[in-house]
Amino acid sequence: MSGPLIHSTQQTDDAGAPAGLAGRHLLSAGDLSRADAVLILDTAEELARLADQPIKKLPTLRGRVVVNLFYEDSTRTRASFEIAAKKLSADVINVTAKSSSVSKGESLKDTALTLEAMGTDAVVVRHPASGAAHRLAHAGWISSSVINAGDRAHEHPTQALLDAFTMRRRLGNLDGRRVTIVGDILHSRVARSNILLLHTLGAEVTVVAPPTLLPAGISSWSCAVSYDLDAVLPKSDVIYTTRPKQEWQAAAYFPTLREYSRYYCLDIRRAELLPPHAIVMDCGPMNRGVQIAAEVADGPRSVIVAQVSNGVSIRMAVLYLLLGGSQPAFSATEEAAR
Amino acid sequence: MPAISSCAPSEHASVPARVVLEARDIARALARIAHEILERTQGAPDLTLLGIPTRGVALAHRLAERIAEFEGVTVPAGSLDVTMYRDDLRIRPARALAATDIPAAGVDGKLVVLVDDVLFSGRTARAALDAVTDLGRPRAVQLAVLVDRGHRELPIRADYVGKNIPTSPRDTVRVLLAEHDGQDAVML
């Protein structure tokens, strides 16, 4: 007999865990290869099935410490990460910082050093500055895994993963599926992460927005651009609405909310233009009557509530794959983070 | 998923494997285990078979078929992934999960027979016991394996054994099943 035989009881080889992985953070949806993304979605699928069983907690992350470091207000993302970590038996600490009281760079560094000194395994960070998660991961302050839970208008990778998961559960394979994202693309980290991930998974993304709410250089993104929602809807498998982020808008990007909603709100008439199988999604918080009509948000096509419950499964999968083993099971390389 | 189930992830290409059980040996062993289960459970009124992925699941379904054939009773069979309960998670990279599919009647009050292809260190069986405990409270839990290759590291033994195969700890036992590999065989 030749060849190094490893003494082990493992039933299968390390499926989905290619050797020599370096990435231990999740900072950008664009860092994920197709194989990584599918591994996360498949893992979430198994975890979602477990949620139907009487099992309340899995012992997998017992003794690991996950810190939710939120510099911005959040309901669903923070609660979702907390529930996901607790379902895996991790200990969860919530740290909320008020960005108004301290200068951002100093505060993030000091907080990071404090957390490191206490011995954390993962930091889930939301921050009002684009790139904060990347800085936290690479400034040399901490050795924990860093998961980006939203950095200003840059990225929100777990939201994109749960959205892709929701689409896959409803529509099957995403290859060739047409996803239309309408609304404030300029300020939307969700739109950016979704465009990156959906492109990786083979879907065709079209963004629809007033020209003022499209980022400069959108033509170089892997998505199509339209200004006419009515024309795009009949060809859409998914319509994804995002909220105009009024709290971030010093200048007016559109004349009035009323005019905005006349052109870009998914109302009942527009929803009827969709093909019969199409689904309606929104990342929340919803401004009913602005980006989506209440009747559509609560209608039979809407999967908005499913998005929230799927979020827990996705975050469990990400925490398990990053922290569950001796090294992460997916290899997000961070050079693409921008 | 890899195509091979073994007790050691191996550099299998260069190892000349010896067939220790052929298809008809496996069929006979499963038939005998099915009879033993029926005998020891007096006709299996509250039996539930739970296979441990990957190949234990196919074996559990085959046992259910044999029991239906011999006794005319339908026995629920499912799968139980134990990955999240393993004790070696921290020393190996995180790995993909397999499907867990518990029969609708659950495990409470049932006689659960865990089914796996190879019994080696006993650590998978230990993880499975934890996983079953989280699902409910079976009346009793038993273990059926196609191959017992020895070298236990925990006080665990199988209730039903297809074949005891003496091995060196460094050997690789490969179980091939038609459902996954296109043929039935056990190789050493």
B55, B94, B136 ranked by CB distance to A325: nearest: B94
Residue A323: closest CA among chain B residues belongs to which residue?
Answer: B94
Query: In this structure, what CATH number is given to the domain that contains residue A50?
Result: 3.40.50.1370
* Residues A257 and A282 occupy one common structural domain: yes
* Residues A148 and A220 occupy one common structural domain: no
- The per-residue pLDDT for range B117-147, each reduced to its tens digit, is 999 999 999 999 999 999 999 999 999 999 9
The answer to the question of residue B160 being in a domain is yes
Any bridge partners for residue A282, and if so which?
A: A241
Q: Do B106 and A54 touch (CB under 8 A)?
A: yes
Contacts of A2 in chain B (CB under 8 A): 11, 14-15
* Residues A196 and A236 occupy one common structural domain: yes
Q: Is the pLDDT of residue A139 over 50?
A: yes
B109 CB contacts (<8 Å, ≥6 apart)?
B46, B137, B138, B139
Q: Is the pLDDT of residue A226 over 90?
A: yes
Q: Do A43 and B171 touch (CB under 8 A)?
A: no
Q: How far is A58 from chain B (nearest CA, A)?
A: 7
What pLDDT was estimated at residue B92?
86
Whole-angstrom distance, CA of residue A29 vs CA of residue A309: 20
What pLDDT was estimated at residue A9?
31
The answer to the question of residue B175 being in a domain is yes
Q: Is the pLDDT of residue A125 over 50?
A: yes
Tokens for A59, please give them.
Answer: 């012992």
Q: Is the pLDDT of residue A12 over 50?
A: no
Query: Sign of the C-alpha dihedral, residues B126, B128, B132, B135?
Result: positive
Total domains in chain B come to: 1
- The per-residue pLDDT for range A74-85, each reduced to its tens digit, is 888 999 999 999
* Residues A132 and A210 occupy one common structural domain: no
The answer to the question of residue B75 being in a domain is yes
* Residues A114 and A176 occupy one common structural domain: no
* Residues A34 and A170 occupy one common structural domain: no
- The per-residue pLDDT for range B67-85, each reduced to its tens digit, is 999 999 999 999 999 999 9
* Residues A38 and A131 occupy one common structural domain: yes
Chains A and B: how many Cβ contacts under 8 Å?
136
The answer to the question of residue A24 being in a domain is no
> How many Å is the Cα radius of gyration of chain B?
16
B13, B96, B121 ranked by CB distance to A9: nearest: B121
| Domain with A223 in it | 157-307
Q: Mean pLDDT for each consecutive 10-residue tract of chain B (188 residues)?
A: 43 68 96 96 92 97 96 95 92 89 93 97 97 94 97 96 95 95 94
Whole-angstrom distance, CA of residue A153 vs CA of residue A6: 47
B54, B85, B91 ranked by CB distance to A326: nearest: B91
* Residues A67 and A117 occupy one common structural domain: yes
Query: In this structure, what CATH number is given to the domain that contains residue B59?
Result: 3.40.50.2020
Q: Is the pLDDT of residue A181 over 80?
A: yes
The answer to the question of residue B106 being in a domain is yes
Phi and psi at residue B10, to the nearest 5°: -135, 165
- Assess contact for A322 and A120: CB atoms under 8 A: no
| Domain with B61 in it | 18-88+95-187
Total domains in chain A come to: 2
Share of chain A above pLDDT 90, in %: 67
Nearest CA to A83 out of A291, A315, A329, A318 is that of A315
The answer to the question of residue B129 being in a domain is yes
* Residues A210 and A320 occupy one common structural domain: no
Helical packing angle, A304-323 and A76-87, nearest 10°: 50
Whole-angstrom distance, CA of residue B80 vs CA of residue B59: 13
Share of chain B above pLDDT 70, in %: 91
What pLDDT was estimated at residue A20?
27
Q: Amino acid identity of B159?
A: D
- The per-residue pLDDT for range A88-113, each reduced to its tens digit, is 999 999 888 764 344 455 578 888 89
Q: Is the pLDDT of residue A270 over 80?
A: yes
The answer to the question of residue A4 being in a domain is no
What pLDDT was estimated at residue A7?
31
- Assess contact for B37 and B44: CB atoms under 8 A: yes
Whose tokens are 């690479």? That residue is A138
Whole-angstrom distance, CA of residue A276 vs CA of residue A153: 33
The answer to the question of residue B170 being in a domain is yes
- The per-residue pLDDT for range A248-266, each reduced to its tens digit, is 665 678 888 888 889 999 9
Q: How far is B120 from chain A (nearest CA, A)?
A: 6
∠A193-A309-A119 over CA atoms, to 5°?
70
- The per-residue pLDDT for range A41-74, each reduced to its tens digit, is 999 999 998 877 777 789 999 999 999 999 888 8
Best residue in A2, A7, A8, A9 to probe B by mutation, most B CBs within 10 Å?
A9
Whether residue B166 has a cis bond before it, omega within 30° of 0: no
Best residue in B89, B149, B152, B156 to probe A by mutation, most A CBs within 10 Å?
B89
Any bridge partners for residue B6, and if so which?
A: B174
Mean predicted confidence (pLDDT) in A137-142: 92
Tokens for B45, please give them.
Answer: 């009124």
pTM for this model (two decimals) = 0.87
Whether residue A242 has a cis bond before it, omega within 30° of 0: no
The answer to the question of residue A320 being in a domain is yes
Tokens for B119, please give them.
Answer: 């019994």
The answer to the question of residue B104 being in a domain is yes
Mean of the per-residue pLDDT values for chain A?
86
Q: Do A328 and B92 touch (CB under 8 A)?
A: no
Whole-angstrom distance, CA of residue A308 vs CA of residue A310: 5
Tokens for A3, please give them.
Answer: 């060849």
* Residues A203 and A284 occupy one common structural domain: yes
Q: Do B92 and A50 touch (CB under 8 A)?
A: no
What pLDDT was estimated at residue A23?
58
Residue B132: closest CA among chain A residues belongs to which residue?
Answer: A55
Q: Do A10 and B88 touch (CB under 8 A)?
A: yes
- Assess contact for B139 and B147: CB atoms under 8 A: no
What pLDDT was estimated at residue B10?
45
* DSSP structure string for B113-149: EEEEEEESSSHHHHHHHHHHHHH---SEEEEEEEEE-
pLDDT grade for A5, boundaries at 50, 70 and 90: very low
Whole-angstrom distance, CA of residue B179 vs CA of residue B183: 8
Q: How far is A59 from chain B (nearest CA, A)?
A: 6
Question: What are the DSSP E strand ranges found in chain B?
Answer: 5-6, 19-21, 47-51, 77-79, 111-119, 140-148, 160-164, 174-176, 185-187
* Residues A190 and A209 occupy one common structural domain: yes
Query: Sign of the C-alpha dihedral, residues A308, A313, A314, A320?
Result: positive
The answer to the question of residue B12 being in a domain is no
Whose tokens are 């003494």? That residue is A7
What pLDDT was estimated at residue B168?
94
Contacts of A322 in chain B (CB under 8 A): 94
Q: Amino acid identity of B167?
A: T
* Residues A96 and A175 occupy one common structural domain: no
pLDDT grade for A165, boundaries at 50, 70 and 90: very high
What pLDDT was estimated at residue A8?
33
Strand B47-51 and strand B19-21: the pairing is: unpaired
